A and B are shown apart, each in its own frame.
Chain A
Amino acid sequence: MSVVRVLFSYIVFPGLIFTAVVGLFLTWIDRKVTARIHWRVGPPWYQPYADFLKLLLKETIIPEGSSKVLFLLGPIMGLVAMSILAVMLFSMNINPHNTFVGDLIVIIYLLAIPPLGLMLGGSASKNPLASVGVSREMTQYFAYELPFLIVIAGIILKSGGSVKFGEIILAQRASGPFLYSISGVIAAVVILLSAQAKLGFVPFDSPEAEQEIMAGPYIEYSGVPLAMYKVVRAMMLFLLPLFLISVLWGGFANWWAILKFLLIIVLMILIKNTNPRLRIDQSLRFFWLGIGGLSIIGLVLAVYGL
């Protein structure tokens, strides 16, 4: 019985299938809002599902001379990591006592796996443009991960030094969301921008710049693995705002959380649509000097409980 329940939670709800369906719907919201900003009509609601279905049923080409296992492992790693992350985030939002020591660290590592899989798969594909994309992805990963981790340290401090995800949510339920303080706002800004970079949204999309390096690490992917990458991306679009709400905005305590969630998504789409792409050195400088400095200020403020 319990095995079936565990499998159900990883594969159907809230794991793979649920998160993928909601995430694909969110990518539709992304495309539709983008289209409206461009003063266009935009695609119909079933568009991401049609894309996904079509990619599933297309031929999958594995480039000659590439490492087959690594090439296919890339998207699978992302998919597995995101399913586990979905289960963890949901179960802890529903029942914050269901936590264990260090699960925040596990969540941070799970968030790091999709870019890692992308780097592995991209560099296994034996394409020069993909390797350019991978090197940019790697640089950008180091760029946004530093301020992200500093901010997480600040959040741990605010919750009384616990590295338990559930206790962070409980601390917020007890004494109000962390967002309503100066360091909380700083943390939100930093996490929002890192999420933007993790998702590969403009202005931090130089790793997969369509116009210069033709989708970068994705360039050799076709058919099923490409569909998996799309789903991983969609799941991240769902889970990163959920993570942000959980650590800063009180978690899914009530139905208002859905409004908060949509607000964050729309904010991300607006940032995406009103900014030009940064060069990789610019985004590195932005994250380390600009956002990094900001996150250190946030950490100091968090130490003094502001």
Chain B
Amino acid sequence: MANAKLWGLKKSPWVFHVAAASCNNCDIEILDILTPRWDVERFGIVLVGSPRHADALLVTGVLNRKSLPRVLRVYEQTPKPCLVICVGTCTCDTHMFAPSYNVVGPYDKYLPVDVYIPGCPPKPEAMIIGVVKALARL
């Protein structure tokens, strides 16, 4: 039973894209990996429109006082088990926005983060390898 669960989760991770105040570069790179050139549907990865359908949350952008409650709410709305994948340096360690009055810190202070994909923005290849590593570790 546990094996079947793992297999299903590994073979079809549906991702929901949480754009929490990013500069949009990371978002565009995420859309890149769905294009024919990278084609992540090969691995069963599909971008879904609702957090209820998601198995993984791709979070982008630096966490600030406005976006924190929203991100937490989206995380609560996602059925478990779900992965949290941090895309971009912003999400991993707040990047150059660290001194800002509005920034509340990296995501792992608030959410159980599974993968960190640094880069500003990370390359699509980096994101794919990040997801693959996360799935291999499950």
What is the interface of chain A, defined by CB distance below 8 A to chain B? 31, 35, 38-44, 46-47, 50-51, 53-61, 210-211, 214-215, 218-223, 226
Q: Which of B45-53, B120-128, B130-138 forms contacts with chain A?
A: B45-53
B8, A53: Cβ atoms closer than 8 Å: yes
B52, A221: Cβ atoms closer than 8 Å: yes
B53, A222: Cβ atoms closer than 8 Å: yes
Q: Which residues of A contact B55 (CB under 8 A)?
A: 54, 58
B49, A214: Cβ atoms closer than 8 Å: yes
Beyond A42-B42, A54-B12, 8 additional pairs, beta carbon < 8 A: A41-B41, A41-B42, A47-B44, A51-B14, A57-B1, A59-B79, A220-B52, A221-B53
14 A–B contacts, CB within 8 A, in A order: A40-B36, A40-B39, A41-B41, A43-B44, A46-B11, A51-B14, A54-B11, A57-B5, A58-B55, A61-B52, A61-B77, A215-B50, A218-B53, A220-B50
Q: Which residues of A contact B41 (CB under 8 A)?
A: 31, 35, 40-43
- Does more than half of chain A's interface fall in helix, strand or loop, or is it mixed? loop
A214-B41 Cα distance, complex, nearest whole Å? 19
- Given known pairs A47-B44, A53-B7, the reply for A35 and B39 (CB within 8 Å) is yes
Least Cβ distance of B30 to chain A in Å? 15
- Given known pairs A35-B39, A53-B7, the reply for A47 and B12 (CB within 8 Å) is yes
B36, A39: Cβ atoms closer than 8 Å: yes
B36, A38: Cβ atoms closer than 8 Å: yes
A42-B42 Cα distance, complex, nearest whole Å? 5
Least Cβ distance of B15 to chain A in Å? 13
Q: Which residues of A contact B5 (CB under 8 A)?
A: 53-54, 57
Say whether B96 faces chain A, with CB atoms less than 8 Å apart: no
A46-B9 Cα distance, complex, nearest whole Å? 13
Say whether B81 faces chain A, with CB atoms less than 8 Å apart: yes
Residue in B1, B8, B49 whose CB lies within 8 Å of A219: B49
Q: Report B39-76 CB contacts with A as 1/0, cut-off 8 Å.
A: 10111100011101101000000000000000000000
A61-B43 Cα distance, complex, nearest whole Å? 26
B42, A43: Cβ atoms closer than 8 Å: yes
B44, A51: Cβ atoms closer than 8 Å: yes
A55-B81 Cα distance, complex, nearest whole Å? 11
Residue in B11, B36, B49, B79 whose CB lies within 8 Å of A50: B11
B49, A211: Cβ atoms closer than 8 Å: yes
A54, B8: Cβ atoms closer than 8 Å: yes
Closest B residue to A48 by beta carbon equals: B12
A41-B45 Cα distance, complex, nearest whole Å? 13
Least Cβ distance of B50 to chain A in Å? 5
A44-B39 Cα distance, complex, nearest whole Å? 12
Q: Which residues of A contact B52 (CB under 8 A)?
A: 61, 219-222, 226
Least Cβ distance of B43 to chain A in Å? 8
A47, B11: Cβ atoms closer than 8 Å: yes
Residue in B4, B12, B79 whose CB lies within 8 Å of A60: B79
Q: Which residues of A contact B11 (CB under 8 A)?
A: 46-47, 50, 54
A291-B80 Cα distance, complex, nearest whole Å? 45
A50-B14 Cα distance, complex, nearest whole Å? 11
Q: Which residues of B contact A40 (CB under 8 A)?
A: 36, 39, 41-42
The 4 closest A-B pairs by CB, nearest first: A54-B8, A214-B49, A50-B11, A53-B8
Interface residues of B in 1-24 (CB under 8 A from A): 1, 4-5, 7-9, 11-12, 14
A61-B50 Cα distance, complex, nearest whole Å? 13
Q: Which residues of B contact A226 (CB under 8 A)?
A: 52-53
A51-B8 Cα distance, complex, nearest whole Å? 6
Least Cβ distance of B106 to chain A in Å? 26
